[in-house]
Amino acid sequence: MAEVTLDLRGTPKAAAYVQLKQHVEAVLEGIDDEITAMSTMSCLLHHGFGHLWTGFYRVVQPGKLLRVGPYQGTLGCLEITFGKGVCGVSAATRETVVVPDVHAFPGHITCDGRSQSEIVVPVFGKNRELIAVLDIDSEHKATFDAVDQQALEELMTWFSRPRA
């Protein structure tokens, strides 16, 4: 098992995600536990890229309510209703939402005033049911783009893949 948390901050983004994914897959080898996977991904993404907040909101009432799960960062709000904030919009639409400027997103939920931009990626289980969303916040504007979207959506396929 890889033992260290990689620091990917000087590495070009696409290459950084390749390393990140290899690391996640190696650490989770042989593990079939969603909470362990969420914890590991939060840790490696957060420290690898130096984000402000990185973690998961889990679906606890399908179509209605998200509740915070494994994360890294300052205190996150505990529950988010489907349709509210960036996380709730992603959950309701089952689509990734990239927000270059959180202040321009109607209904954005502020958990940490330092947040400037955000990406939220839906997480599907083995039957295409929505099980969570991955939420990443940055202290800088326009941190996330199509490269992040593609790589994070690919990383989230861990949860829908058949596992040993």
Residues in contact with ligand SME by CB under 6 A are 53, 76-77, 80, 85-88, 108-109, 111, 115, 118, 135, 137
CB of 41 to ligand SME, least distance (A): 15
CB of 31 to ligand SME, least distance (A): 25
CB of 82 to ligand SME, least distance (A): 11
CB of 75 to ligand SME, least distance (A): 9
Cβ(120)–Cβ(97) below 8 Å: yes
Residue 62: CB atoms within 10 Å: 11
Residue nearest to ligand SME (CB): 85
Q: Which is nearer to ligand SME, 96 or 115 (CB)?
A: 115
Q: Which is nearer to ligand SME, 118 or 148 (CB)?
A: 118
CB of 44 to ligand SME, least distance (A): 18
Smallest Cα–Cα separation from 97: which of 151, 136, 57?
136
Cβ(32)–Cβ(164) below 8 Å: yes
Task: Tell me how far apart the alpha carbons of residues 23 and 15 are, in angstroms, rounded to a whole number.
Answer: 13
Q: Which is nearer to ligand SME, 26 or 78 (CB)?
A: 78
Task: Tell me how far apart the alpha carbons of residues 18 and 92 are, in angstroms, rounded to a whole number.
Answer: 29
Q: Which is nearer to ligand SME, 48 or 55 (CB)?
A: 55
What region does 114 belong to: left with phi over 0, alpha with psi -120 to 50, or beta?
Answer: alpha
The gap from C-alpha 71 to its chain's centroid, in whole angstroms, comes to 9
Residue 83 in tokens:
């349709």
Q: Which is nearer to ligand SME, 86 or 98 (CB)?
A: 86
